[in-house]
Amino acid sequence: MRTLLYFFLGLLTLAIASYSAIYFLSPATLVEAGISHERKQAGLELKQITIAKHNIHYLSGGPNNAPVLLMLHGYAANKDNWVRFAAQFSDRYRIIAPDLPGFGDSSRLQNQSYDIASQVERLQAFVDALKLPRFHILGNSMGGMLAATYSLEHSDKVLSLGLLNSAGVREPKPSPRSLAWAEGRNILLLENTEDLDRLFELAFNHPPAMPQIAKDYLTEKALLQRAFNEKVARDLLAKPIELDDKLDQITIPSLIIWGDSDRIIDMSSASIFSQGLKQSTTIIMEDTGHLPMLERPKKTARHYQQFLQTIAGK
């Protein structure tokens, strides 16, 4: 899955570009320019670092001495999933949003495994390389599973845990994605150049419209990355993580946010997290799909900010 941000960027680019620029510049150049603009508006800049054989691209912003928010994207997604959400925090928090190894612009290595345990090791190497103090960690979907597993194994590093439509526990009510997964079909990946609308219908309760110039660019990138995303899915299935019986070992304050119309990980999973985590708050967002920080970035940010303020006051 790719980011809704590209949709907004396509609109933005077409709105601000002159006719001559649209005529002479490639779609990739236009959309990438929009991406850069969005990051700048959010107070974020692109950085790179090499850890564990991987060149990691990440977004960074905010005061260096401020509390750290480490944001982890989901499967087949990237760091820009967080930009509009992060914009609500970058004036008073230090934001770190990486392309996880194997995704986005970070390295993809065929001879490496991208199961959750391996990713936890790489994430710790990333944290060490940046010399991060104790931080708040939050993740969406696969990124939530990674954040929760990291919190289990490195509790000394984490101040709080945020889970947005997180993977990692059973679904009492199977989602369309999990039913297809059980049949050996990965419906999170594009099948062809005409398949983007179907993917957006799956990911969002209100799928975005998209200018064709951005739609073509998005589709091209997703299809180029499909084979490696299939490899990552195999890695995840080969070494699955099941957090159901381990959640009570996570003792830090935790926030669970879920869109009530999630067709990728059913909302029923939220109850498994809330019952297992010792210090948890659950918020169900109405009329929202799998990516609340994209579909409703400001409202999602308000929920998360209230959570941070509550735990700071304890």
Residues in the chain: 314
Could you give the C-alpha distances from 314 to 94, 162, 248, 253, in angstroms and in order? 21, 17, 20, 10
Give the pTM.
Answer: 0.92
Confidence class of residue 23 from pLDDT cuts 50, 70 and 90? very low
Average pLDDT, the chain: 91
pLDDT confidence of residue 28? 83
pLDDT confidence of residue 210? 74
pLDDT confidence of residue 25? 59
Cβ contacts of 192 within 8 Å, gap of 6 or more: 223
Confidence class of residue 314 from pLDDT cuts 50, 70 and 90? low
Could you give the C-alpha distances from 271 to 243, 258, 263, 268, 284, in angstroms and in order? 13, 10, 16, 6, 11
For the chain, what are the domain ranges? 5-312
pLDDT digits (tens, 9 = 90+) for 142-172: 999 999 999 999 999 999 999 999 999 999 9
Report, in this order, helix, strand and coil percent for the chain, each rounded to 5.
Answer: 45, 15, 40
Backbone φ, ψ for residue 97 (5° rounding): -135, 95
Spatial distance between the Cα atoms of 175 and 23, rounded to a whole number of angstroms? 43
Give 96's DSSP letter.
E
Spatial distance between the Cα atoms of 289 and 203, rounded to a whole number of angstroms? 6
**Tally of helices (H runs) and strands (E runs) in the chain:** 13, 8
Q: Tell me the average pLDDT across 107-130.
A: 98
Q: Tell me the average pLDDT across 14-32.
A: 56
Q: Tell me the average pLDDT across 160-188.
A: 96
pLDDT confidence of residue 241? 93
pLDDT at residue 44 greater than cutoff 50: yes
Could you give the C-alpha distances from 200 to 114, 187, 221, 222, in angstroms and in order? 25, 11, 15, 13
Cβ contacts of 242 within 8 Å, gap of 6 or more: 168, 169, 170
pLDDT confidence of residue 29? 85
CATH of domain 5-312: 3.40.50.1820
pLDDT at residue 21 greater than cutoff 70: no
**Pairing assessment for the beta strands 135-140 and 158-164 based on DSSP bridges:** parallel
Spatial distance between the Cα atoms of 284 and 194, rounded to a whole number of angstroms? 32
282: nearest Cα among 309, 253, 261: 253
Q: Tell me the average pLDDT across 197-223.
A: 89
pLDDT confidence of residue 5? 41
pLDDT digits (tens, 9 = 90+) for 255-308: 999 999 999 999 999 999 999 999 999 999 999 999 999 999 999 999 999 999
